[in-house]
């Protein structure tokens, strides 16, 4: 004879009838349960509450372990019923963080580089003069990204327009809306030259501009693995545009130098190449000369600008 105790019954199982009793009151007292002599009591992981009105065992699923009964003949070996406890699923999910750690995001140190050198190149300095000057066909391996300054490369015929990705008046803060990295990747460039910053000096903080610049170039590098990234310095402006008191026209040369310093540091940090075209195209006065509006380069200065690029590449 076996005694079962419980607090709530939902289903009754009987050896003599299929009758089911549901929702038996929780105050049910201890009862005797008459079991066949050949029954075997087996511990299970699924809980129950048991009581009997007529000498039969009563079971129900609950939240604590429960004993079940299996009838066997005298010649049969006892079999043990097993069931995976509900808590198993929770135990499995506790191991998931280990998997997440294995696929942790790429850190700054592991980001793909835009340079082809590793450890043997001084990224902190501007690109020096090359041992051999490239021919104009070198531009067929390049893509040029920027604002109206960059548009001039195509307009004057120095670079094929299909390799120029630029828009007049474009700022680094909104470049992603106009020029997607995927469009640049479509021409499969080996070298990407970027010249941005003139539009924004008047209102963007250097730190904000550098952050936007860096994010954008990171996107390009992710789209074109192994590409060489060349950061072109912001061009100079005329003396008049640098010193005017008209806030809408003023582009300070001091700010340009400050921004270019930040761009050079950004390039070194990411192993991109910094090309100091600023110093090359400043006239004897230390400012941009021959410009009709004090900002845009005349064709002769573009020629000087493009010759400098061809003579300052990295092997």
Q: pLDDT tens for residues 281-306? A: 998 999 999 999 999 999 999 999 99
| pLDDT for the residue numbered 113 | 52
The average pLDDT across 40-45 equals 45
Q: What is the pLDDT of residue 203?
A: 85
The whole-number pLDDT of residue 120 equals 77
Domain ranges of the chain: 1-77, 119-310
Class assignment of domain 119-310? Answer: alpha beta
Of the listed ranges 10-24, 56-70, 200-214, 279-293, the least confidently predicted one is 10-24
pLDDT > 90 fraction of the chain, expressed in percent and rounded: 57
| Distance between CA atoms of residues 150 and 235, nearest Å | 11
The yes-or-no verdict on residue 110 having pLDDT over 60 is no
**Residue 70 confidence (pLDDT) above 90:** no
Task: Give the closest residue to 111 by CA, choosing from 273, 249, 222, 246.
Answer: 222
Q: 44 vs 204, which has greater pLDDT?
A: 204
The whole-number pLDDT of residue 277 equals 97
SS3 label, residue 185:
helix
> Is residue 59 within 8 Å of residue 11, measured between CB atoms?
yes
Confidence of residue 117 (pLDDT cuts 50, 70, 90): low
- Mean pLDDT value across residues 38-67: 46
Is residue 57 pLDDT above 50, yes or no? no
pLDDT band at residue 221 under the 50/70/90 scheme: very high
pLDDT at 60: 46
Query: Comparing 70 with 235, which gets the higher pLDDT?
Result: 235
Of residues 119 and 16, more confidently modeled:
119
pLDDT at 247: 87
Of 183, 180, 261, 270, nearest in space to 216 by CA: 180
Instruction: Evaluate if residue 99 carries a pLDDT over 90.
Output: no
100: exposed, middle or buried (Cβ count in 10 Å: 0-12, 13-18, 19+)? exposed
Q: For the chain, give the mean pLDDT.
A: 76
Write the CA distances from 101 to 89, 96, 105, integer angstroms.
Answer: 20, 9, 9
Highest mean pLDDT out of 96-100, 107-111, 243-247, 272-276: 272-276
What pLDDT is recorded for position 202?
82
On the question of pLDDT at 62 being above 90, the answer is no
Decide: helix, strand or coil at residue 314: coil
pLDDT at 17 over 70: no
């Amino acid at each position: 004879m076996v005694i079962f105790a419980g607090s709530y019954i939902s289903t009754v199982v009987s050896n003599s009838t299929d009758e089911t009793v549901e929702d038996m009151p929780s105050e049910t007292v201890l009862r005797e349960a008459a079991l066949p002599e050949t029954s075997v009591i087996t511990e299970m992981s699924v809980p129950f509450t048991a009581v009997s009105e007529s000498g039969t065992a009563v079971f129900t699923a609950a939240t604590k372990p429960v004993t079940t009964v299996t009838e066997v003949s005298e010649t049969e070996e006892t079999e043990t019923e097993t069931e995976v406890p509900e808590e198993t699923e929770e135990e499995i999910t506790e191991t998931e963080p280990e998997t997440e750690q294995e696929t942790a995001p790429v850190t700054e140190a592991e980001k793909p580089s835009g340079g082809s050198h590793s450890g043997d190149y001084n990224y902190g300095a501007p690109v020096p003069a090359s041992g051999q000057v490239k021919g104009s066909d070198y531009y067929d391996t390049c893509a040029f990204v920027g604002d109206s300054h960059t548009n001039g490369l195509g307009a004057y015929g120095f670079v094929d327009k299909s390799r120029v990705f630029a828009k007049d008046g474009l700022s680094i803060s909104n470049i992603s809306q106009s020029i997607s990295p995927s469009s640049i990747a479509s021409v499969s460039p080996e070298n990407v030259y970027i010249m941005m910053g003139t539009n924004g000096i008047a209102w963007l903080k250097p730190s904000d501009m550098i952050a936007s610049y860096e994010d954008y170039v990171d996107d390009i590098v992710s789209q074109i693995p192994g590409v060489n990234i060349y950061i072109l310095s912001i061009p100079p402006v005329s003396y008049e545009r640098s010193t005017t008191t008209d806030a809408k026209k003023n582009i300070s040369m001091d700010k340009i130098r400050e921004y270019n310093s930040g761009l050079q540091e950004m390039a070194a940090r990411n192993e991109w190449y910094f090309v100091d075209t600023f110093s090359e195209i400043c006239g004897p006065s230390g400012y941009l000369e021959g410009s009709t509006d004090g900002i845009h380069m005349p064709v002769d200065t573009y020629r000087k600008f493009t010759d400098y690029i061809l003579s300052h590449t990295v092997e």
